[in-house]
Structure 1
Amino acid sequence: MELKFKKLMLLSITTATLLGLTSCKKEPYSTTKTSLASIFEDYNKNNEIKNTVDTIVLNNDQMFVDWSWQKFLWLTSNTEDNVPVFMKELKQVNDFGEEIKLDPLKKKGLPSSYIKDGKLPLILDLYQQADGTKLSSKSNSLVRYSIHANDGILEMFNSADASSIISQAAEILKNDSLKRSIRESKNQYPVGATEIKIAWIETSQVVDSTKTFNITAIVNQPNENFYENYNNAELKRMSMIGFHIFTVTAEHPEGVWSTFDQRDLAPDRTSFHGDPVNSKSDKYTLFDGNAVGNTEDGIIQDKTTLTPKVKNKVFQSNPEGVRYNQASQGMVVIKEDEEFATMIKSSNELAKKALTNDKVKIWANYKFVGSIWSKTNAPINELLDGDLSKPYGTGNGQSFGSLNLANITMETTFQTGGMNCFTCHSMNNNLYRTSTSKKINVKSPLISSHLFEKYAELKAALLASQGAAKIDIHKELNIDKRKPSNNIDEINLLKNSIRESSREEARELLKK
């Protein structure tokens, strides 16, 4: 019996479905027939990989490791059109969940010479992390970000709960006497709903471009109004250096949050005493061992420059995203996390050995950093009222997996104090976060996505200024149909205000 159980622990997910909405039929993990090794081997042999079956209930650590690798490899795999799945099956969106489309960009000055066959290439204009941190290479080339989501995420912006949240928020903004809290849990993101964020840097800045996935992208220049001006955009060769995944799976409405990094970005922490990194190597994209300054400051934000206090000293503070005994010498994983840390390390070594085919070996140069999730089939009220960022069994903590998970390309400064994905992506969040007079607490499965969070803030503010009965909150912004005061410049000012409010809240979290 023990042997059979161990074999079941190694089983993985191989049957395919579309990434979009899927049947909610539950399938036991035991129906799958292959291990993670077989997933790698099949991909290496056939140059094809199937999507994960998100209707399968993930309920042990190894399943989450296997699922994470398969989802990452599928999203990055090539389609028949010779573009990666994440560019074909998902929509590229801005940070308000608005799809990035060709015609609006042309009106904003995008050179037509950048468009081939009428297809919009990857657009890179985002360059700030959650707290506003700007990360750059040794030659000061900014790290850029793209966001992609499928209809499982985006269609929920039109759900009954979304409408209710936005309408209630608008009424609260107009009436200070109303209770400043909203609770809606009838609608959840459907199984298969997926949102990803990818970090990119100029290919000329990586230490070895033969070990990175490279693509030609339209890169906009950062300035005060760069979201609305593409006259100075450039075509550049960009390299993928970080990949963050959020997908809702069966009995996990909070989603599974998994993250990957390119292997040559930065070293891992080697000690919690003295210098955190003993490497003096310059063979990293984001770390220079000979750079002057305290290494610990390489992952702490300078509030004036909005860059790390010491540049080119980025490091992974909590390898595998697990917890360490900081009182010990060296890096000693706490007992509760030892097995999961070993699973992650083993999966990364297996990927290096198995992915050798010329068409897929590039992905052997990426590593699985970790994954975090909550209790399987947890009552929705527990997820709304509990603390998703804390380990299950600790107070009202709800989570399992990599409890100190962070992606160093996107969450560089969020690597201290037991922070993880759920620190910011919980089902209990605030709108208009940094304004004491306007702050509105929202408890809803929808609010775990920052895309919906910003979308709701924007729509509610517009409703409050015009009257809820005078505007369809789901229609795209059409200036001709609105009051003259709501011109495009004012809407962009509102968006920028929401962005800065979000960054201020993130900086406040780092102080705790």
Structure 2
Amino acid sequence: MKTIQWLTLTFATTMAASGVAGALSPANAAAPPPAKNCPAFGWSEGLGQYLKPDAAFPTSDTKTIPTPDCNFHQWSWEAFVWATALVKDSGSGTNVPRFMTLATPAELLSNADDAGAPKLRPLTLAARAQVFHGAAGFTEGAGAIVQADGNMLVAQNGYPVYASVHMNQTYFNTARKNLIVTGGYQSQPASSSFAVGDAVFKATWLRLDPNQAPPAGAYTTQAQVPVLENKITPGQITIQPVAGKFVTVTVALIGLHVVGYTENHPEFLWGTFELKNNSPQTPDNTFEPSASRSDPKSYTLYKGRTPFSQVNIAAQPGASRPQLTLDPATQKLTPVTNVVLENKTGGENQPNGVGNIYAINAQAQGFLSNLKGPQSTFASYSLDGTVWMLPNSYNLNSNQTNAVGSVNLANATAETFVQQADNTPIKNVLNCFLCHNPTSYSFQTPPPAKLPNRLIALSHVLSIGSPYEVPNSISGKLLMRPDPFRK
């Protein structure tokens, strides 16, 4: 068994004037101003080039040093448009988002090659086995039923939120050469790295009940998801997939990370998007887990009037409070997770940074909403923020404290339970580089053994099939119930 390891410019950025603390009110306050010439004149119209079937992934936004803050957030939207551009699936002839034609981790240990005409990869979610590569029954899917910290986000309808990972060809090729289970990681020099143009995307998916309407504006598709079971071992209970048993369901895209190596930035730029109305969103560094604060409105992942003291709380099987339980018959879990995005723009720390994000969101959403047909669906998504490091500064000691831009960046659908940055080396600095850095595989205590620092270690797909991979399950200590007949 595996072991757990470590839009408009009128959107408010202040508390709601209605007195409901913590909620944003689009009608009651103006957005802060962006930097001069942000976005660049004609920038949003230029997004159309990334919709072309043969469009190159954007890399030149950071060519000039110093690069304005605005450019990084413009890049995130360019990467999002590139990833969600509807391209023709060579198999079915239907139009699908480009990122869904890219390779997934399931193919890294096979002879698969995604070169050639775009082809839809079947979306098989949370197929990751509970055994390591080489063992009988090993499988690998596109993602997991738990988040990177090992906790599970349970949607309001009782299903887990699933994740999937998608890599462009050059990223895929480099990752495959550096897999831990094949010895590639261990045999490479510490300076081994990705290259300009490499890109990876992580999507989050909301499973819908039969006949359930999707969230407003969401892109939906069909996916295979595993049947879940409770496995009890001495002193422990685990919620996990039943090996090889899947059902076909409708899922809605509710979040997307866009991650790419651009000029002068080997640490990659990390941007993240969410579907509008996923949850309440509080202005940067103002969230308080208070019983007296709530939002009167219900969202996709939040029930109206839930106190903020009861949001973003992880549950575990067997725990006394809160206890995560699975009903195998319905496949529903309790309790559900009420979610709040604690930092609306990820703690953006550059001059005019918050205003830049609002202005760029407004222009990009306006461009997409004016398109005809299904492509306009993606106007329903917003950029939370982008984080990066100083140009060409990435080294074997880099971590979250070296971040620039949205330095407390989190996606409420993918990093629900790790949004607080009060106890970190620098207050209000907790971002993607906490986990994606050269030490990703060198801080563990056996098992597994520590591996050397590598620049390329910022990629977590290198761990597939190994003890370094987050298990596709969630476990807790089994509590013994009192025996009513025992005196």
TM-score under structure 1 length normalisation: 0.65
Match of residue 397 from structure 2: 385
Following the alignment from structure 1 to structure 2, what is the Cα–Cα distance between the partners of residues 157 and 168? 9
2:168 alignment partner, one of 150, 161, 168: 150
Following the alignment from structure 1 to structure 2, what is the Cα–Cα distance between the partners of residues 345 and 243? 18
Q: Deviations over 1:300-358 (max 9, x none)?
A: 323434699974420000111016xxxxxxxxxxxx44511111111222233332334
- Cα RMSD after superposing both structures: 3.8
Question: How many residues were matched structurally?
Answer: 378
Secondary structure, aligned partner of 1:71? helix
1:402 alignment partner, one of 403, 406, 412: 406
Return the letter of the residue paired with 1:340: G
Say if 2:222 is the partner of 1:216: yes
Offset at residue 368 of structure 1 (A): 0.3
Following the alignment from structure 2 to structure 1, what is the Cα–Cα distance between the partners of residues 179 and 206? 35
1:33-432 aligned at under 5 Å gives the runs 35-40=42-47, 42=48, 50-55=55-60, 57-58=62-63, 59-81=67-89, 82-88=95-101, 90-94=102-106, 97-98=108-109, 121-125=122-126, 126-157=144-175, 159=177, 166=183, 184-204=189-209, 208-223=214-229, 229-230=243-244, 232-269=245-282, 271-273=286-288, 274-275=290-291, 277-282=293-298, 284-291=299-306, 294-303=307-316, 304=319, 305=323, 311-322=336-347, 336-337=349-350, 339-354=352-367, 355-359=369-373, 360-378=375-393, 380=394, 383-386=395-398, 388-390=399-401, 398-417=402-421, 418-431=429-442
Secondary structure, aligned partner of 2:352? helix
Return the letter of the residue paired with 2:202: K
Contact 2:152 2:314 in 1 (8 A): no
Following the alignment from structure 1 to structure 2, what is the Cα–Cα distance between the partners of residues 502 and 191? 35
Q: Deviations over 1:277-299 (max 9, x none)?
A: 541112x11000244xx423311
Following the alignment from structure 1 to structure 2, what is the Cα–Cα distance between the partners of residues 229 and 122? 17
Secondary structure, aligned partner of 1:222? strand
Secondary structure, aligned partner of 2:82? helix
Offset at residue 448 of structure 1 (A): 0.3
Q: Which has the higher contact order (CA 8 A, sep 6+)?
A: 2
Say if 2:462 is the partner of 1:452: yes
Return the letter of the residue paired with 2:221: I
Contact 2:77 2:364 in 1 (8 A): no
Following the alignment from structure 2 to structure 1, what is the Cα–Cα distance between the partners of residues 108 and 176? 12
Contact 2:217 2:380 in 1 (8 A): yes
Return the letter of the residue paired with 2:405: G
Q: Deviations over 1:57-98 (max 9, x none)?
A: 35221111111101111111111231221122x20224x954
Q: Deviations over 1:353-406 (max 9, x none)?
A: 33233422211110001111111122x5xx2123x311xxxxxxx221100000
**Structure 1 residues 309 and 217, CA, compared in 2 at 3 Å: closer, same or farther?**
closer
Return the letter of the residue paired with 1:86: F
Return the letter of the residue paired with 2:150: G
Return the letter of the residue paired with 1:211: G
Contact 1:281 1:289 in 2 (8 A): yes
Secondary structure, aligned partner of 2:200? strand
Following the alignment from structure 2 to structure 1, what is the Cα–Cα distance between the partners of residues 344 and 351? 12
TM-score under structure 2 length normalisation: 0.68
Return the letter of the residue paired with 1:37: S
Contact 2:181 2:463 in 1 (8 A): no
Following the alignment from structure 1 to structure 2, what is the Cα–Cα distance between the partners of residues 296 and 337? 30
Match of residue 477 from structure 1: none
Q: Which runs of 5+ in 2 are unaligned?
A: 1-34, 90-94, 113-118, 127-143, 232-238, 326-332, 422-428, 476-487
Return the letter of the residue paired with 2:103: K
Return the letter of the residue paired with 2:295: S
Following the alignment from structure 2 to structure 1, what is the Cα–Cα distance between the partners of residues 473 and 439? 15
Following the alignment from structure 1 to structure 2, what is the Cα–Cα distance between the partners of residues 446 and 120? 26
Contact 1:150 1:194 in 2 (8 A): yes
**Structure 1 residues 235 and 138, CA, compared in 2 at 3 Å: closer, same or farther?**
same
Secondary structure, aligned partner of 2:155? coil
**Structure 1 residues 192 and 306, CA, compared in 2 at 3 Å: closer, same or farther?**
farther
Q: Which structure: greater helix fraction?
A: 1
Following the alignment from structure 1 to structure 2, what is the Cα–Cα distance between the partners of residues 429 and 447? 6
Return the letter of the residue paired with 1:444: R
**Structure 1 residues 353 and 245, CA, compared in 2 at 3 Å: closer, same or farther?**
closer
Following the alignment from structure 1 to structure 2, what is the Cα–Cα distance between the partners of residues 50 and 338? 32
Secondary structure, aligned partner of 2:192? coil
